[in-house]
């Protein structure tokens, strides 16, 4: 009898495991608090409660989320809307299904002793810019300011910046790209004081575009089973994000526990999580149409060199979040 009951239990366990739906999530960058909501959802059992087995795949300098999606290597990816819309216009049919980040964390951080007081002082300076899809918000901003990025005396010289703050510390650039939750604090940790710096937040400059959203391939949305799986994934992910916002220290520890590289430290991740919470706090996961329209408008406002040349069609769906938020 005992053997029979054990067999039944094992069979039930195997059936439960087999029933779990697999989801591959490609992150935009390495394991850090920028993605805490997903790790929290996994750690707290939110995905499991939805019957999901989620594989969270870290990104890195040599990993392009759009290329991973194009190759079928993930079901869903975290990407910035400028990158996703640019890829869509070039033929990669990415669709935004949820928008956990409401605000932008992007900014330029400049050395005060370069004489930069406002955006008009960028002319003639070298500015560090991330590429790999991250350059689009910057290029749109410069286009809005009518500042050429060709290195001319009346324009700016664009330095292709690695994902570090070395160009500023070594004074190779007057300004570099930073995030409010990451690179800015790397500059501070390197020894510079806030009063030695001038910062320009994209939000404050009126050129903020939507950042970390969730994207899937358009053709997959014709599959009812896939859509149902995404509803579960988004619902559990947003539970993770809301938990992370209200438990930043615990969320940071969960991130550390999932960092296979061992590169992250708890104090830094706690600080990052508290900054990230400011960007996700006003989002329930649904895409705000005003934010979307603003992003599209900014990306098209590039004069002769816009990031996108026409208003996208079918670049988002509210169907997933509508169902997830019921």
Report whether pLDDT(14) > 80: no
Report whether pLDDT(176) > 60: yes
What secondary structure, in 3-state letters, does the chain show?
CHHHHHHHHHHHHHHHHHHCEEEEEECCCCCCHHHHHHHHHHHCCHHHHCCEEEEEECCECCECHHHHHHCCCCCEEEECHHHHHHHHHCCCCEEEEEECCCCCCEEEEEEHHHCCCCHHHHCCCEEEECCCCCCHHHHHHHHHHCCCCCCCCCCCEEEECCCCCHHHHCCCCCEEEEECCCHHHHHHHCCCCHHHEEEEECCCCCCCCCCCEEEEEHHHHHCHHHHHHHHHHHHHHHHHHHHHHHCHHHHHHHHHHHCCCCCCCHHHHHHHHHHHHHHHCCCCECCCHHHHHHHHHHHHCCCCCCCCCCCCCCCECCHHHHHHCC
Tell me the pLDDT tens digit for each residue of 75-105: 999 999 999 999 999 999 999 999 999 999 9
Structural domains for the chain: 20-103+210-324 (3.40.190.10), 106-201 (3.40.190.10)
Report whether pLDDT(284) > 80: yes
The distance of Cα 124 from the centroid of its chain, to the nearest Å, equals 31
Indicate the range of 8-17, 79-88, 124-133 predicted with least confidence: 8-17
Tell me the pLDDT tens digit for each residue of 288-315: 999 999 999 989 986 667 889 999 999 9
- Of residues 140 and 181, more confidence is placed in 181
Q: What is the mean pLDDT of the chain?
A: 93
Percentage of residues of the chain with pLDDT beyond 90: 85
- The average pLDDT across 136-162 equals 92
Indicate the range of 16-30, 45-59, 245-259 predicted with least confidence: 16-30
Tell me the pLDDT tens digit for each residue of 41-72: 999 999 999 999 999 999 998 899 999 999 99
pLDDT of residue 304: 64
| Band of residue 143 on the pLDDT scale cut at 50, 70, 90 | confident
pLDDT of residue 302: 66
pLDDT of residue 140: 85
pLDDT of residue 102: 97
Report whether pLDDT(2) > 50: no
pLDDT of residue 134: 82
| Band of residue 18 on the pLDDT scale cut at 50, 70, 90 | low
- The average pLDDT across 138-165 equals 93
pLDDT of residue 15: 42
| Band of residue 172 on the pLDDT scale cut at 50, 70, 90 | very high
pLDDT of residue 16: 47
- The average pLDDT across 193-217 equals 96
């Amino acid at each position: 009898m005992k053997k029979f009951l054990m067999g039944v239990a094992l069979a039930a366990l195997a059936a439960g495991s087999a029933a779990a739906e697999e989801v591959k999530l490609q992150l935009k960058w390495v394991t850090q608090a920028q993605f805490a909501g997903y790790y929290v959802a996994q750690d707290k059992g939110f995905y499991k409660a939805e019957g999901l087995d989620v594989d969270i795949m870290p990104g890195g300098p040599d990993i392009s989320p759009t290329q991973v999606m194009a190759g079928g290597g993930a079901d869903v990816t975290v990407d910035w809307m400028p990158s996703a819309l640019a890829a869509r216009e070039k033929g990669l049919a990415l669709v935004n299904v949820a928008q956990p980040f409401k605000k932008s964390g992007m900014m330029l951080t400049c050395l005060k002793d370069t004489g930069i007081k406002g955006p008009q002082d960028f002319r003639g300076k070298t500015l560090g810019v991330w590429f790999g899809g991250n350059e689009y918000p910057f290029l749109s901003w410069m286009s809005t300011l009518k500042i050429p990025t060709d290195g001319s005396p009346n324009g700016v010289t664009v330095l292709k910046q690695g994902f570090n703050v070395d160009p500023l510390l070594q004074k190779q650039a007057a300004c570099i790209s930073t995030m409010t939750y990451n690179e800015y604090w790397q500059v501070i940790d390197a020894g510079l004081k806030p009063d030695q710096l001038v910062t320009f937040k994209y939000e404050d400059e009126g050129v903020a575009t939507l950042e970390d959203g969730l994207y899937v391939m358009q053709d997959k949305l014709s599959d009812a089973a896939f859509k149902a799986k995404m509803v579960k994934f988004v619902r559990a992910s947003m539970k993770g994000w809301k938990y992370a916002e209200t438990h930043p220290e615990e969320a940071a520890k969960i991130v550390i526990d999932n960092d296979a590289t061992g590169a992250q430290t708890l104090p830094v991740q706690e600080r990052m999580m508290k900054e990230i919470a400011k960007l996700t706090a006003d989002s329930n996961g649904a895409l705000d149409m005003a934010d979307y329209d603003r992003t599209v408008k900014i990306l098209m406002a590039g004069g002769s060199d816009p990031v996108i040349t026409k208003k996208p069609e079918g670049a988002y769906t509210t169907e997933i979040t509508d169902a997830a938020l019921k």
